[in-house]
A = this chain, B = another copy of it.
């Protein structure tokens, strides 16, 4: 047998395996629950990537940013171009070390969560992105049971992505997909400033 034959045979075996896997997989007629956590980069970026993908299919997307402040970011500037498809809410008032006021932070997180609940139950969205909600949960600015309930009671149509490091076990338990972003090498640690169009 030639090397080309070997290759063809190996690829046919792979294809058969893949087909079997796809055949077994169940098509579920409901939105998925995705958690992006870990200390590495890419948690919010990949949620914005999924946002772009959903928009490509004509889906309706809502974004609630729990922690990000009001400074200009590339993602917000970009997705603002699609007011008919993207509903964008930056509710946080910046990182906690900027506000230095726990009561104000809690109020901001709760207000963002009220908005999120409306969006999740409305039935108007294919995808709701709760960006950095894990940070609000980690500091106990939000109650985990309330968040779990809101996700369970969401519209059947709606997929939800929850981002931020230190995702609570209750969320990971509930999720269909959990991805952990692990930092192998980081430019900030190597002494490089955050870069426009890459980091924000």
Contacts and interface: CB of A to CB of B under 8 A. Distances in A.
Contact of A184 (B3, B179, B187, B200): B179
Interface stretch (A72-80, A108-116, A142-150): A72-80
Contacts of A137: none
A177 B177 CA distance: 24
B53 A42 contact: no
Interface string A158-200: 0100000000000010011111111111111011111111101
A134 interface: no
A41 B37 CA distance: 12
Given A44-B49, A49-B46, A197-B127, A12 B97 contact: yes
A84 interface: no
A154 interface: no
A97 B17 CA distance: 10
A101 interface: yes
Given A26-B191, A159-B195, A159-B198, A79 B52 contact: yes
Given A18-B97, A49-B51, 12 more contacts: A4-B102, A11-B97, A11-B100, A15-B100, A22-B193, A25-B188, A32-B192, A45-B50, A49-B49, A52-B75, A55-B74, A175-B185
Interface of A: 3-4, 7-8, 11-12, 14-15, 18, 21-22, 24-28, 32, 34, 36, 38, 40-42, 44-57, 59, 73-79, 96-103, 126-127, 159, 172, 175-188, 190-198, 200
